Amino acid sequence: MDYLYDYSGEKLIHRLTAIDRTVAAYYDLFEKIESEYLFDVTEPDGYKLKPEEARGMLPLDLKSELIVTGFVSDWIHFFRLRSHIAATGKPHPDIQKLADPLMQEFIDKNYCTDEQIKNSN
């Protein structure tokens, strides 16, 4: 059985369960993968992979940047499908968290209006 002690090593803070050890191993693995990725894309001794090439070694849970371009009409269509408007049914919560503030940004910057989004076909 594993235990978690304070920095002095004297006071028992928590007895680690199998789940705790599994989660810790999971995070350790992510740290190793991330350091390998950063080495491969930034260090002279690395493989000098472009980020889009090295992305294949990243797990799905790791944060990565996404750049998307499109015409305003394409974005309006996206907002109608994936924002709180959801013309075709409830969107996945993660994509809605992205779509709602992005839609508001489009409206604030006058790329489109709320009416255009709600009334487009």
The H-or-E segment that residue 90 falls in is: none
Which neighbouring-strand residues pair with 64?
none
Cα 3 off chain centre by: 32
Please report the beta strands in the chain, taking only residues with DSSP state E, as ranges in sequence order: 2-5, 12-16
Using CB atoms within 10 Å of the CB of residue 83, give its burial: 0 to 12 exposed, 13 to 18 middle, 19+ buried. buried
Question: Which amino acid is located at 24 in the chain?
Answer: A
Give the tens place of pLDDT for each residue, 51-62: 677 667 666 666
Please list, residue by residue across 54-76, b when 16 or more beta carbons sit within 10 angstroms of its beta carbon and e when fewer do: beeebeeeeeeeeeeeeeeeebb
Q: What is the pTM of this model?
A: 0.52
Least trusted range by pLDDT, from 5-19, 26-40, 45-59: 5-19
The answer to whether residue 5 scores a pLDDT higher than 60 is no
What are 6-15's pLDDT values in tens digits? 556 566 656 6
What is the distance between the alpha carbons of residues 46 and 48, in angstroms, rounded to a whole number?
Answer: 5
Provide, rounded to the nearest whole percent, the portion of the chain with pLDDT above 70: 68
Is the confidence at residue 1, as pLDDT, over 50?
no
Higher pLDDT, 45 or 90: 90
